[in-house]
Amino acid sequence: MAWKDRLQNASFRGVPFKFEDEDSTGGRRVETHEYPNRDKPYTEDLGKATFRASITAYVVGDDCFEQRDALREALNKPGPGTLIHPTFGELSVCVDGEVRVSTRKEEGRVVRFDLRFVEAGELAYPTSGAATAQILGSSCSVLDSCISDAFDGFGMDGMADFVQQDVIGQASGMVGYVSDAMKMIDDGVSAGARLLQGDISVLLPPPSSGKGFIESLQKMWRTGNRLYGNSADLITMAKALSGISLGKDLAPRGVWKTDSQSTRSKTEQRNHVASAIRTTALTEAAYTVTRLPAPSAVTAAGSSGQSAAIVANVSHPALSNAPTNTVTPDAPSWDELTVVRDTLNQAIVKEMERTTDDRVFTALRRLKADLNADLTQRLRQTDRTVTVLPVGIEPAVVLAARIYDDASRAGEIVQRNGIAHPGFVPLQPLKLSTRQLAWRVTQQVDQDQLYTARTSDWLRWAIAVEKACSLGF
């Protein structure tokens, strides 16, 4: 097939026209940074360049003026339209600026157009982390309602007293397991579990509906005094709650046909209680994720070129009675978010395998999807980090200048690592963002002027980590 046979009949918004020539622009948007006393520049890729097309078109015929008016009307309509490009095919474009229309007396029945089009694209609003957190919170509320409805299956009416006491004893033991598991994590939850142990004998026996038990479980999880602490405490709480749901003490027990009626009833009611404890723990773990600080606290400071606020914690005898304020990282790290995501996903999938209620299963599936959406959004806004050991004590501004070639990122280093005084970065493992680290590392390893052999070793390792991250490992 000849190249002329592959040309398409050009048109815009369904109005046809002929063409003489066309040209287009595209490519990539880049910004080249050149620095004094450095031979190699740094070219920053800013994304795909906007596609633009220019077409020299014409209409011909005895009705050329009617064709002209139809094409002008199509060109003057607002918004994007469909362009059948003679070589690129169908495109969604907007008219780019003015349209030149010309007619020559010697050409007779020909009207010429100089057309310029620009890629229409799409209106895409940024996804807010707060929005995903709200959606996740809504999913948690739906799961709470499903848990309450599913627990309506619990009931000990008509059971013998010894069977009821056995069920209550097993429920008390499961709550005691929760109290022991949370003792080293949050005293408030542990104390709430002990209080619930004493109330079980009142909540579970008939004619109680069991709704009060679910509310007591939720109150127990929310009595923690560290739920609104820093990100490290919230991460620990989320992992602890999901780990409790995987504990063997709360695992469902099998109900066999060979068992007696009392044994089967006791096991069924025990499984109802265990399921309520597991699912409410998962709900509270997801609620804890929504309370995590936005991951822009540390990242935004570096990306905007502004230094984060540096707070010094100075020790002096005159200040011995003054309260001390230690800088702590507000936002969770990439590794912490990844661990929380994997842990919660494992716990939710396990509970989906265990549950026998269709509504709870559907709510768990929705919770899993919204949880991953929220954590994915947080991970997109969070810098990956590498752990390094400095070669000496130096100010944060010097360290930032050597590592990132940007002294304004000293506040980021101080905030991320909770350094007490920005003038003295201690000899301890530091978490450093890999954003713009690999380029800086490559330049300095090539020059080998500003770094010792020990420093160059971890810099080369940082390059390897960054390459692995870019490949998706």
Helix H, strand E, coil C: the string for the chain is CCHHHHCCCCEECCEECEEEEEEEECCEEEEEECCCCCCCCEEEEEEECCCEEEEEEEEECCCHHHHHHHHHHHHHCCCCEEEEECCCEEEEEEECCCCEEEECCCCCCEEEEEEEEEECCCCCCCCCHHHHHHHHHHHHHHHHHHHHHHHHHCCCCCCCHHHHHHHHHHHHHHHHHHHHHHCCCCHHHHHHHHHHHHHHHHHCCCCCCCHHHHHHHHHHHCCCCCCCCCHHHHHHHHHHHHHHHCCHHHCCCCCCCCCCHHHHHHHHHHHHHHHHHHHHHHHHHHHHHHCCCCCHHHHHHHHCCCCCCCCCCCCCHHHCCCCCCCCCCCCCCHHHHHHHHHHHHHHHHHHHHHCCCHHHHHHHHHHHHHHHHHHHHHHHCCCCEEEECCCCCECHHHHHHHHHCCHHHHHHHHHHHCCCCCCCECCCCEEEECCCHHHHHHHHHHHCCCCCHHHHHHHHHHHHHHHHHHCCC
> What is the overall mean pLDDT for the chain?
75
Q: Residue range 55-62: average pLDDT?
A: 91
Q: Is the pLDDT of residue 304 over 50?
A: no
CB 453 within 8 A of CB 425: no
Topology, domain 3-119 = Elongation Factor Tu (Ef-tu); domain 3 (2.40.30)
Q: Give percent of the chain with pLDDT exceeding 70.
A: 72
Least confident of 56-60, 65-69, 105-109, 231-235: 231-235
Per-residue pLDDT reduced to its tens digit, 111-156: 999 999 999 887 765 555 557 888 888 888 888 888 887 777 676 6
> What pLDDT score does 215 carry?
72
Residue 142 CB neighbours (<10 A)? 17
Per-residue pLDDT reduced to its tens digit, 163-174: 777 777 777 777
Q: Is the pLDDT of residue 188 over 60?
A: yes
> What pLDDT score does 24 carry?
92
Q: Residue range 189-218: average pLDDT?
A: 67
Domain with CATH 2.40.30.200 in the chain: 3-119
Of residues 380 and 330, more confidently modeled: 380
CB 454 within 8 A of CB 391: yes
Q: Residue range 272-292: average pLDDT?
A: 82
Of residues 208 and 174, more confidently modeled: 174
**pLDDT-derived band at 327, boundaries 50, 70, 90:** very low
> What pLDDT score does 399 carry?
84
> What pLDDT score does 460 carry?
54
